[in-house]
Amino acid sequence: MATLEIRDLHVTVEADNSTKEILKGVDLTVKQGETHAIMGPNGSGKSTLAYSLAGHPKYTITGGTVTLDGEDVLEMSVDERARAGLFLAMQYPVEVPGVSVSNFLRTSATAIRGEAPKLRTWVKEVKEAMERLNMDPSFAERNVNEGFSGGEKKRHEILQLELLKPKVAILDETDSGLDVDALRVVSEGVNRVRETGEVGTLLITHYTRILRYIKPDHVHVFSAGRIVESGGAELADKLEEEGYEGYTKGGASE
Amino acid sequence: MAEAQNSPTLESARAGGPLPVGSTTAGSIAVAAESTVATRMSAPPSFDVTDFPVPHGREEEWRFTPLERLRGLHDGTAVATGEGVKVDVQAPEGVTVETVGRDDARLGKAGTPVDRVAAQAYSAFEKAGVVTVPKETVLTEPIRIAVHGEGGVAFGHQVIELGAFAEAVVVIDHTGDAVLAGNVEYILGDGAKLTVVSVQDWDEKAVHVAQHNALVGRDASFRSVVVTFGGDVVRLHPRVSYAGTGGEAELFGLYFTDAGQHQEHRLLVDHNTPHCKSNVAYKGALQGDDAHAVWIGDVLIEAKAEGTDTYEMNRNLVLTDGARVDSVPNLEIETGEIVGAGHASATGRFDDEQLFYLMARGIPEHEARRLVVRGFFAELVQQIGVADIEERLIAKIEEELEASVA
Ligand SMILES: Nc1ncnc2c1ncn2[C@@H]1O[C@H](COP(=O)(O)OP(=O)(O)OP(=O)(O)O)[C@@H](O)[C@H]1O
Ligand SMILES: [Mg+2]
């Protein structure tokens, strides 16, 4: 069973000629089949955690370990991490000029699966996955994320999640910028992947709204670069009522 | 992609006069009483090199070009050597291939040299090549002209003439190492159709400066595909004018500028005849320190050229730091009685965020870069519409990617 283990993770960024510590000792274990929600106020370091796990070059790991099934993730390059089974649905997906969605998806699937998917079954697979996410077939011929609306970008991220079938999926604010319909469609996509029981999900969010569609097994409150409280789904209800104030006072904006 | 784009319509050009253009470099649409394309050249067109002063680099037409790397083509110090270039012409049956002297009456009909190097080439060549496709001859095989540099200095002149309603594809390959200046003329009779693919696949030290003049007959169509990969300095000047109404010109270009290379494409479409069309689309990818691409797109719609329909576009993809693009579209309109006129220029970067995104989907770095470049060029290649040329270009791009995008 695939397990992502994060131990005492410390991460810094370079900003204005100074080094700023963003993550200050994160501990978290995500097992295949589990869904963990990470909730926290703006600027608490949620995206930093997501990017650091995926290997974004802007973030420097200054301490701690991350392993996937015992393998040292921090030693791997960005593409190696993806091929090892990590997937990051980004808060702000990037536009890639000149590369069509269909070409991108196929190249990516080829890299992740280790061989090119058979063309006939692949075309069908993509088409059906797009239909389930209410994506117009014309998206396949557009350039990756170029001119996509916020909601379209998020659907495109979940499309990749469905096609690439990672071991651990990190979804960074996949819910933000979505209207209710889009939120439902995207959540259904995430749930389809979860129902296979083969993915561990790390759902990063600011709002509890998405948790009505995607039921987490565990909820973690993130503040000032670390997990400050963990609990079951009921913790989300508490946050819904009380907000983050109890956690941020005197902590977050140091 | 941090892209600046512009495609002003004629409406805006009419209403506002000169428009600021939001491209990464300068560009303009001018509603001019008199052509500034003509007035900004440092001397009027001439076949005689002595009519042009030696450029010092600040002239409008030379300001982007590294004169010191032209190996003397611009100042008369380059002298033809015996072993300059070897030219091999293979033509299907029905085509006449000749080598003629300087006084042959068929030379110099499509256009006149507009700068010192083109005039130098015209003043210095000894023999010219003339390839003729007789009227109503429709070729099913391309004419192939292989120009191979043998390490010397050469001045060349080539004429390709199609009689009325003739149809041909010409592929000109440039390989090897040379310092070459030349003029190429394309003369299209009424209703003729010519596709020319000029591939600059030079070795890394080569210097190649050439003016291409196309004279498009009534209802004729000319399609030029310029592909520049190699060379130290390549400066090409494709120019089109029309000999009758109903002519069409499509000018496509592709360049891949590597570290240290200077690749300059200066185009001019002179709408000097009513009811003609032109479409210009050039795309370039750059990578490495001091890779420098220059694209000048001049389109002139003369007062008499009613019913003109023209569009020009240049796009650049900068893959690494240290590369530089100068892209200057320039549309001059002397009559409002036209069908359409527009231009667009955009330079985008392939940046670390894009690379991260692709790699986060399992795609290795070198593959990610290739994916982007291949996709960028594919859009253009698909417009060419000649299947075997498209295939060859894709193969060529793959080869270039293999060699340079590591
Ligand atoms: N590349 C960077 N350069 C400088 N500062 C950064 C960088 N990335 C993150 N930070 C800073 O680190 C802190 C945490 O940012 P992060 O994006 O991880 O927060 P977040 O919890 O995802 O917030 P949000 O809810 O707004 O998405 C912020 O103060 C942010 O400004
Ligand atoms: Mg965030």
Which residues are within 8 A (CB) of B279 and not within 5 positions of it... i.e. 6 or more apart? B249, B250, B251, B310, B311, B312
Alpha helices in A55-100 (DSSP H): 78-84
Q: Give the list of residues 6+ apart from residue A183 with CB closer than 8 angstroms, or none.
A: A175, A209, A210, A213
Sequence letter at residue B334? E
Structure tokens at A68: 């996937």
Q: Which whole number is the average pLDDT over B292-315? A: 96
Q: Nearest C-alpha of chain A: how many angstroms from B287?
A: 16
Strand (E) or helix (H) holding B369:
helix B365-384
In a domain, A121, yes or no: no
Res. A210: pLDDT tops 70:
yes
pLDDT at B352 over 90: no
Q: What is the CATH number of the domain that holds A155?
A: 3.40.50.300
CA distance B108 to A14: 62
Mutate which of A17, A20, A22, A222 for ligand 1 pocket (most atoms within 8 A of beta carbon) = A22
Question: Mean pLDDT for chain B?
Answer: 89
- Average pLDDT rounded to a whole number, residues B373-396: 83
- Domain assignment of residue A182, yes or no: yes
Do the domain assignments include residue A117?
no
Range of lowest pLDDT (A229-238, B32-41, B53-62, B222-231): B32-41
Name the residue type at position B400: E
DSSP B89-103: EE--TT-EEEEE-TT
The confidence score (pLDDT) of residue B6 equals 37
Position B393 scores a pLDDT of: 85
Digit-coded pLDDT (tens) for B13-39: 322 222 222 233 434 444 444 456 666
The pLDDT tens digits for A15-60 are: 888 999 999 999 999 999 999 999 999 999 999 999 999 999 999 9
Mutate to test the interface with B, among A51, A83, A87, A96 (most CBs of B within 10 A): A96
pLDDT of residue B11: 29
Taking the centre of ligand 2 as the mean of its atom positions, its distance from the CA of residue A222, in whole angstroms, is 12
The full set of domain ranges for chain B reads 2-349, 350-406
Residue A169, amino acid: A
Q: What angle do CA B26, B32, B37 make, to 5 degrees?
A: 60
Percent of chain A at pLDDT > 90 equals 87
- For B121, residues 6+ apart whose C-beta sits below 8 A from its C-beta are B113, B155, B156, B157, B181, B182, B183, B209, B210, B211
Q: Does A97 touch chain B (CB under 8 A)?
A: yes
Residues spanned by the domain of A159: 3-94+149-248
Higher-pLDDT residue of B394 and B291 is B291
Between the alpha carbon of residue A37 and those of residues A209, A228, A234, B87, B367, the distances in Å are 12, 13, 12, 70, 34
CB pairs under 8 A between A and B: 88
Each residue's pLDDT tens digit, B199-242: 999 999 999 999 999 999 999 999 999 999 999 999 999 999 99
Q: Are B117 and B70 in contact (CB under 8 A)?
A: yes
Decide: pTM greater than 0.95. no
Reduced DSSP (H G I as helix, E B as strand, rest coil) percent helix, strand, coil of chain B, to 5: 20, 40, 40
Maximum Cα–Cα distance across chain A? 58
- Domain assignment present for residue A221? The answer is yes
Q: How far is the CA of A9 from the centre of ligand 1 (A)?
A: 16
Residues B124-145: what's their mean pLDDT?
97
Closest by Cα among A182, A181, A133 to A161 = A133
Q: Is residue A30 part of a domain?
A: yes
Eight-state DSSP code of residue A210 = G
Contact A12, A4 (CB under 8 A): no
Q: Is the pLDDT of residue A139 over 80?
A: yes
Q: Which candidate in A104, A112, A153, A172 is best for mutational testing of the B interface (most B CBs within 10 A)?
A: A104
The pLDDT, as a whole number, for residue B384 is: 79
How confident is the model over A87-97, as a mean pLDDT?
Answer: 93
Task: Give the one of B360, B365, B375 whose C-beta lies nearest to A99's C-beta.
Answer: B375
Classify residue A15 as exposed, middle or buried by CB count within 10 Å of its CB (0-12, 13-18, 19+): exposed
- The answer on pLDDT for A246 being more than 90 is no
The total number of structural domains in chain A stands at: 1
pLDDT for position B19? 27
Contact A201/A34 with Cβ under 8 angstroms? yes
Q: Which residues line ligand 1 (CB under 6 A)?
A: A 13, 15, 22, 40, 42-48, 58, 91, 173, 206
CB burial of residue B96 (10 Å; 0-12, 13-18, 19+): exposed
Work out the mean pLDDT of chain A and round it to a whole number. Answer: 94
The dihedral through the CA atoms of B257, B262, B265, B266 has a sign that is positive
Domain presence at residue A81: yes
**DSSP three-state, residue B361:** coil
CA pair distance B277, B341, nearest whole angstrom: 10
Q: What is the rounded average pLDDT of the residues B179-186?
A: 98
Distance from CA of A146 to the nearest CA of B (A): 8
Distance CA B286, CA B316 (A): 8
A96 touches chain B (CB under 8 A): yes
Task: Give me ligand 1 centre to Cα A153, in Å.
Answer: 20
Would A124 be classed as within a structural domain? no
Radius of gyration for chain B, computed over Cα atoms and rounded to the nearest angstrom: 20
Return the pLDDT at A190. Answer: 97
Strand, coil or helix: A182:
helix
The pLDDT of residue B406: 59
Confidence of residue A207 (pLDDT cuts 50, 70, 90): confident
Distance in Å, alpha carbon of B374 to nearest chain A alpha carbon: 8
In this predicted structure, the answer to whether residue B8 has a pLDDT above a threshold of 60 is no
* % of chain B surpassing 90 pLDDT: 75
Provide the pLDDT for residue A250: 52
Q: Identify which has the larger pLDDT, B346 or A89.
A: A89
Q: Is the pLDDT of residue A254 over 50?
A: no
Ligand 1 closest atom vs CA A45: 18
pLDDT given for residue B398 in this prediction: 84
- What pLDDT shows up at residue A249? 66
Paired tokens of B263: 């690749």
Average pLDDT over residues B60-75: 96
Q: What does R_g of chain A's alpha carbons equal in angstroms?
A: 18
